[in-house]
Structure 1
Amino acid sequence: MDLKITTLAERLDLVGPAWRMAEDWPEFILHDPVGWSLIGRIVAELPEYVLVATDEDGDVDGDGNRKVLARAFSVPLALRERTGGDLPDGGWDQVMLWAFSDLRHGKRADTVSAIEITVDETARGKGLSGRMLAAMRDNARARGFSEVVAPVRPNAKHLEPAAPIDEYAYRTREDGLPYDPWLRVHVRAGGVIDKVAHASMTVSGSTAQWREWTGLPFDTEGPVEVPGALVPVHCEPARGYGVYVEPNVWVRHTV
């Protein structure tokens, strides 16, 4: 494989292929209103902070474009000006909102936040996520930043939805590295776990919507364990709604 990683600003022809990657995000995650309204704006307004990976020896599509094997989204924001550098409990949703508020008001960014690293289902198990993380760090440094922060979605936490996130985030193996595979990639890359973002992303919907998204009945009051969810969804069938508040783990990278 001849892997080539570039910014989307350099390869605008790959916008379509980047969106057509084979993903496996849980359906309900796609209904976070912050992500739904802003993720496309990163591509349109901040393409220099979007990285795409292609196999230059691979096949091309009908338009002559290489298949995108991985993508990485990040955003610049004025974190130190706003909080003195402290990371928000609001996590993923909060940095997205801050980044586009700063862009609108012309504030000078001082930090880059990772938003997403996704690897195509056909290219997993080849270390691409770590390579995309390294490329994101390099891209931030090349643009004059000294720090990348990441509201990490621990990718094995969904197997233990009842486990307290404050315990899970700091759980380690015998070698001292994080128990969670995705947190482990970040720490191996030089990242340091900073804190838990207890309300990183919020998805709310009617019980009918949750049934559609998950195939579960959503007819019992209280916590409902949903495949792919890091913590249970709170269900209120008498009132007709369910709310999912996802915790993430903040990791700091000095670049």
Structure 2
Amino acid sequence: MNLKITTLAERPELGDPLWNMVEDWPEFILHDPVGWSLIGRIVADFPEYVLVATDEDSAEENTKVVARAFSVPLALRARAETGLPDGGWDQVLLWAFSDLRHGKAADTVSAIEITVDEAARGRGVSGRMLAAMRDNARARGFHEVVAPVRPSAKHLEPATPIDAYAHRTREDGLPHDPWLRVHVRAGGVIEKIAHASMTVSGSTAQWREWTGLPFDEEGPVEVPGALVPVHCEPERGYGVYVEPNVWVRHTL
């Protein structure tokens, strides 16, 4: 695959095609209210922090986006007293757009998402997008990238505590989780857990629609694609999912 990676600012014509990839995000993730409100604004407000990859060997005249990477600049060190937030993914998005609105100078770049089209998976594209994100931040004068990482295999064992899972290693000392392993190989350091990185709440009817599960018993419900169980309260008619992520810091 002859991959060409550029910023969206350099190729604004890819603003629509970058949404047309075949993705594998679970349906319920798309209903995080912070992400629902702000993910599209990254494309509009931070195009120089959006990376798009096209396959130059494609017969589609280079309009087929095979991967995208979203990141945002924010004033993280100005909030040094709190450090990397327990609120993780949701929190850095809220801080980034608050800083943009109030004109605060950014000192850090946070990764938000790296997505690879179904047809391009298994070829090391995600690692190349992460490297390009690091290079892009460095080229813009930043000295670090932080990432609230969603471990790619955690959904296979939702009952395992995230603190134990995140620090599990193989015999070679690298993380057990494949996506965490990519980050560490790229120079990232696992720093802490963001225990409440993303929150999705909905009625039990909505959870049934999103998952196809009955959601009729009180307590934890294991949902395909979820990193931890969803808490169900059928008598009160709602379910809540609080997703943990793993903070990884990349010094550039």
Show structure 2 runs of 5+ residues with no match.
none
| Residue identity matched to 1:137 | R
Match of 1:134 among 127, 131, 134: 131
| Residue identity matched to 2:117 | D
Match of 2:72 among 48, 72, 75: 75
Offset at 1:2? 1.8
1:4 lines up with 2:4 in the alignment: yes
2:212 aligns to what?
A: 215
| Residue identity matched to 1:45 | D
Rounded Cα–Cα distance in structure 2 between residues aligned with 1:181 and 1:2: 24
1:182 lines up with 2:184 in the alignment: no
| Kept in 1: contact 2:88–2:194 (CA 8 A) | yes
Offset at 1:195? 0.2
2:37 aligns to what?
A: 37
Q: 1:195 to 1:141 in 2, by over 3 A?
A: same
| Residue identity matched to 2:52 | V
| Kept in 2: contact 1:59–1:66 (CA 8 A) | no
Rounded Cα–Cα distance in structure 2 between residues aligned with 1:182 and 1:188: 10
Rounded Cα–Cα distance in structure 2 between residues aligned with 1:65 and 1:203: 36
Describe the superposition over 1:63-114 as per-residue Cα deviations: whole angstroms up to 9, x where unpaired: x552001000000000001225710000000000000000000000000000
Offset at 1:7? 0.1
Rounded Cα–Cα distance in structure 2 between residues aligned with 1:58 and 1:15: 18
Q: Which runs of 4+ in 1 moved over 2 A?
A: none
2:52 aligns to what?
A: 52
Identity %: 85
Rounded Cα–Cα distance in structure 2 between residues aligned with 1:185 and 1:76: 22
Structure-2-length-normalised TM-score: 0.99
| Residue identity matched to 1:6 | T
Q: 1:77 to 1:129 in 2, by over 3 A?
A: same
> Tell me, what secondary structure is at the counterpart of 2:15?
helix
Rounded Cα–Cα distance in structure 2 between residues aligned with 1:185 and 1:46: 25
Rounded Cα–Cα distance in structure 2 between residues aligned with 1:34 and 1:83: 23
| Kept in 2: contact 1:17–1:65 (CA 8 A) | no
The Cα RMSD (Å) is: 0.9
> Tell me, what secondary structure is at the counterpart of 2:63?
coil
> Tell me, what secondary structure is at the counterpart of 1:238?
coil
